Amino acid sequence: MNDLIAKLYDQSIVVKDHGDYVDGELDPVKFAELIVRECGVALSPMLRDMVSRGQAFELIKKHFGVE
């Protein structure tokens, strides 16, 4: 997992206090929302420069460090 995805994952952990112990679990909705927001960040050059859809896909992959 690359650093950006790990950061989004960590931001999606919900801490729960059970009284005698504390744990955390992934909130999949929050994780998905953060990924979608990052896709918007990755595509901002496309919207500004009007690049093609193929280039948009490459921008998203590059933003997330996916090969």
* CA separation for the pair 41, 59 (Å, rounded): 10
CB-CB neighbours of 12 under 10 Å: 19
The residue written with tokens 């918007």 in the block is 40
CB-CB neighbours of 42 under 10 Å: 19
pLDDT, tens digit (0-9, with 9 covering 90-100), for 4-37: 999 999 999 999 887 888 889 999 999 988 998 8
Domain limits for position 30: 3-64
Whether the pTM exceeds 0.75: the reply is no
Pick the closest to residue 30 from 46, 50, 15 (CA basis): 15
Number of domains in the chain: 1
- Whether residue 67 contacts residue 4, with contact meaning beta carbons closer than 8 Å, is answered with no
Higher pLDDT, 30 or 52: 30
